[in-house]
Amino acid sequence: MVSCHHCATLWKDVKGHDRCGRCGARLHMRKPDSVNRTWAFLIAACIMYVPANTLPVMTTASLLGEQPDTIMSGIIYFWVSGSWILAVIVFIASFLVPLFKLAALILLLITAQRGSNWRLLQRAKLYRLVEVTGRWSMLDVFVVTLLAGLVQIKGFATVYAGAGIAAFAAVVVLTMLASLSFDPRLTWDVNEQESRKRV
């Protein structure tokens, strides 16, 4: 039994690389070249994580001059100005969540490649958590987009996105692609091999 990854139709007695009779997509038992693709996306995301946190994500131009802000300077501003809840939300969504996703995917990849049977159920739950948190990492991008659209008072203040927001969006997209390209069944392969040996 093979499920089509595009339309989710279940097919019986099919071979690898056969086409789906419903949507025409190629059928495959496993995600093709899962480990290499996931590593490629992860390495690219790790590289982009540095400029995402060091380059300004937003620049405010006013009569007093231009004020570039990075993610961390924005968090510090919210904290100092008394908006602690907002500072914590931005810190978690914009700094900790992408870092957590990168660390979790690296852990999942290394343990899957080594054929480790360490905490199989917890690793499966960790993968599900990484998938769920994917879209919430875009909080900074949404905030800058809203501000750029709302605060456009000519002659007084103008907000526009900086290079850091593009790098941050790239990190989010690359980690989402990495989690999509990772085959979670790789985690359970070692368990299946051990159960076959026992039989």
Q: Give the model confidence (pLDDT) of 137-176 as tens digits.
A: 666 666 666 656 655 555 566 777 889 989 998 998 999 9
Indicate if 105 and 154 belong to the same structural domain: yes
Indicate if 22 and 41 belong to the same structural domain: no
Q: Which residue has the higher pLDDT, 38 or 154?
A: 38
CA angle centred on 98, ends 96 and 101, rounded to 5°: 105
From CA 20, how far away is CA 27, in angstroms rounded? 6
Give the domain CATH number at 129. Answer: 1.20.140
Look at the pTM and tell me if it is higher than 0.85. Answer: no
Classify residue 194: in a domain, yes or no: no
Q: For position 182, what pLDDT does the model report?
A: 94
Tally of CB atoms within 10 A around 154: 6
For 70-121, the pLDDT digits (tens) are 889 888 988 998 889 878 888 888 888 889 999 999 999 999 999 888 899 9
Measured between alpha carbons, how far is residue 31 from residues 36, 117, 172, 183 in Å?
11, 21, 21, 6
Give the chain's domain count: 2
Please report where in the chains the tokens 């924005």 appear, as a residue: 74
170-191 burial string, b = 16+ CB within 10 Å, else e? bbbbbbbbbbebbbbebbeebe
Indicate if 114 and 23 belong to the same structural domain: no
Handedness of CA 81, 85, 87, 90 (dihedral sign): negative
Indicate if 62 and 20 belong to the same structural domain: no
Indicate if 37 and 24 belong to the same structural domain: no
Classify residue 63: in a domain, yes or no: yes
Find the range with the poorest average confidence among 13-22, 121-130, 184-193: 184-193
Classify residue 193: in a domain, yes or no: no
Indicate if 146 and 52 belong to the same structural domain: yes
Classify residue 199: in a domain, yes or no: no
The DSSP letter of residue 15 is -
The radius of gyration of the chain from alpha carbons, rounded to an integer in Å, stands at 22
Indicate if 131 and 160 belong to the same structural domain: yes
Indicate if 42 and 130 belong to the same structural domain: yes
CA angle centred on 78, ends 54 and 158, rounded to 5°: 70
Range of the domain at 74: 33-185
